[in-house]
A and B are shown apart, each in its own frame.
Chain A
Amino acid sequence: MSTKVKDASIPTIPFKARLSRWFGRNLLRIYMVFGFTYLFIPVAYTFAFSFNDSGKSNLIWKGFTLDNWQNPCGAPQICTALGNSIKIGLLATTFATILGTMIAFAIGRYHFKGRSSSNLLIFLPMATPEIVLGASLLSLFLVFKVNPGFWPTVIAHVMFCISFVVVTVKARIASLDPRLEQAAMDLYANEFETFRRVTLPLVAPGIAGAALLAFSLSFDDFIITNFNSGTMMTFPKFVYVAAARGIPAQANVIGSSMFFLALAIVIAGQIVNRRKAR
Chain B
Amino acid sequence: MRTALPKVRVPYLLLFPGFAFLFTFFILPIVNLAQTSTQTPISGGDTGQYEQTFAFGNYIDAFLENREQFARSFVYATLATIFALAIAYPLAYAIAFKSGKFKNILLVLVVAPFFTSFLLRTIAWKQILGEEGFLVPTLRNLHLLGPQTTITSTSVAVVAGMTYNFLPFMTLPLYASLERIDPRTIEASGDLYANGITTFRRVTVPLSMPGVVAGTLLTFIPAAGDYVNAAILGSPNTKMIGNVIESRYFKIVDYPTAAALSFTLMAAILILVTLYIRKAGTEELV
Contact = CB atoms under 8 A, between A and B. Distances in A.
A226 B33 CA distance: 18
Contacts of A226: 246
Interface string A28-40: 1101100110111
Contacts of B90: 28, 31, 35
Interface string B1-36: 000000010111011011101100110111011001
A10 interface: no
Contacts of A166: 18, 286
B26 A139 contact: no
A124 B22 CA distance: 10
A255 B120 contact: yes
Interface in A113-171: 115, 118-119, 121-133, 135-140, 143, 155-156, 158-159, 162-163, 166-167, 170
A256 B242 contact: no
B87 A59 contact: no
B190 interface: no
A32 B94 contact: yes
A130 B17 CA distance: 23
Interface residues of B, number: 78
Contacts of A124: 26
A102 B15 contact: yes
A188 interface: no
Nearest to A156: B25
B157 interface: no
Contacts of B22: 121, 125, 159, 162
Interface in A3-38: 28-29, 31-32, 35-36, 38
A262 B113 contact: no
A35 B171 CA distance: 11
B26 A159 contact: yes
Interface in B236-259: 242, 245-246, 249, 255, 258-259
B280 interface: no
B108 interface: yes
Contact of A127 (B32, B164, B269): B269
B42 interface: no
Contact of B26 (A39, A125, A236, A252): A125
A127 B113 contact: no
Nearest to B130: A59
A123 B285 contact: yes
A239 B15 contact: no
Given A29-B94, A159-B22, A106 B255 contact: no
A222 to B, nearest CB: 6
Interface stretch (A42-50, A71-79, A179-187, A196-204): A42-50
B259 A139 contact: yes
B249 A227 contact: yes
Contacts of A64: none
A131 B115 contact: no
B33 A35 contact: no
A262 B123 contact: no
* Chain A contact surface mostly: helix
Interface string B217-235: 1100110111110001000
B117 A255 contact: yes
A99 B262 contact: no
B207 interface: no
Nearest to B228: A222
Contact of A102 (B14, B108, B127): B14
B215 to A, nearest CB: 13
Nearest to A239: B119
Given A131-B225, A139-B255, A162 B29 contact: no
A125 to B, nearest CB: 6
B169 to A, nearest CB: 11
Interface in A251-278: 251-252, 255-256, 258-259, 261-263, 266-267, 270
Closest CB pairs A-B (n = 3): A129-B225, A42-B124, A262-B115
Interface of A: 28-29, 31-32, 35-36, 38-43, 45-46, 49, 59-60, 99-100, 102-103, 105-107, 109-110, 112, 115, 118-119, 121-133, 135-140, 143, 155-156, 158-159, 162-163, 166-167, 170, 216, 220, 222-223, 226-227, 235-236, 239-240, 243, 247, 251-252, 255-256, 258-259, 261-263, 266-267, 270
27 contacts: A28-B98, A32-B106, A38-B164, A39-B109, A42-B116, A42-B121, A46-B116, A103-B14, A106-B14, A126-B218, A127-B273, A128-B221, A128-B266, A129-B221, A129-B226, A129-B266, A132-B33, A132-B262, A137-B25, A139-B255, A159-B25, A170-B286, A240-B228, A259-B113, A262-B112, A262-B115, A267-B108
Given A132-B225, A139-B29, A162-B18, 5 more contacts: A42-B125, A45-B128, A140-B28, A223-B242, A258-B116
